[in-house]
Amino acid sequence: MTNGNGSAEADRTLKAKHRAMWAQGDYPSLAAEVISELGPVLVEACGVRSGQRVLDVGAGTGNAAIPAALAGAEVVASDLTPELFEAGRRVAEERGARLTWQEADAEALPFGDAEFDTVLSCVGVMFAPHHQRAADELVRVCRPGGTIGLLSWTPQGFIGRMFATLKPYAPPPPPGAQPPPLWGDEDHARALLGDRVTDVRAERRTVRVDRFATPEMFRDYFKERYGPTITVYKNIAGDPDRVAALDRDLVALARDADLGTGQGGTVMDWEYLLLTARRAG
């Protein structure tokens, strides 16, 4: 996966930072309160059914893995940040879902070739820094004729725009790391998977987010709970002017996205790409 000891050490350091980023804040509450419906959407699109062996890559708290298990599949929920599993296990127990939780790097999955009938990822694998490595692993562990399903935030959608808003305040990305929302660009995702898949279906959809009374509440919620946002604020913590500027920019982002439905509160549609494909061979 890497060349030489220095490169290997740099990769370990990068992955440790990623793990720490997602372990901070409270991503489990965000996944449950804001985007819980996305997992079932992906599971349905992949046609998950009883008797299948399913791998969820970047599973987090199991937004897709738990619905897949409830559909009767034998599910492995894998993630680089096992700190997220505790909340996932609680939800699985409450809902009567049985599945396996396993720490795993999306760029070096600890599974055999062609081991799974369905390999899916719900806003998870998109955060692996090296997109081609991660895509190669998704294909490798899926059996020929099996399904690969991905749900990713788009660059032009709200979360893609949020990452663009954060970028000027963030530390420079490591060499070779690619922006997560690129996975939500259909051409990019197709290129990553290449001719190793067939029957590609891609559709841009939105999820309605209406839990924030004001744009300020959205900003504060993400400052407290979302690892990437917390990391950026830590980067500029010593500069009150930049903190204030980012505060304003995130409020402006949410205000611009508000649909103004007249229902009260801030109502937004966050765009994502839903892509499914069949492993060739």
Q: Give the domains, in start order, of the chain with CATH numbers.
A: 11-208+268-279 (3.40.50.150)
Q: What pTM did the predictor assign?
A: 0.95
- What pLDDT is attached to residue 45? 98
Angle at CA of residue 180, ends 148 and 146, nearest 5°: 5
- What pLDDT is attached to residue 4? 53
For residue 63, the Cα-to-chain-centroid distance in whole angstroms is 10
Q: How far apart are CA 151 and CA 225, in angstroms?
A: 21
- What pLDDT is attached to residue 174? 86
- What pLDDT is attached to residue 8? 86
Angle at CA of residue 261, ends 258 and 263, nearest 5°: 110
pLDDT tens, per residue, the chain with 281 residues: 445 567 888 889 999 999 999 999 999 999 999 999 999 999 999 999 999 999 999 999 999 999 999 999 999 999 999 999 999 999 999 999 999 999 999 999 999 999 999 999 999 999 999 999 999 999 999 999 999 999 999 999 999 999 999 999 999 988 889 999 999 999 999 999 999 999 999 999 999 999 999 999 999 999 999 999 999 999 999 999 999 999 999 999 999 999 987 667 999 999 999 999 999 98
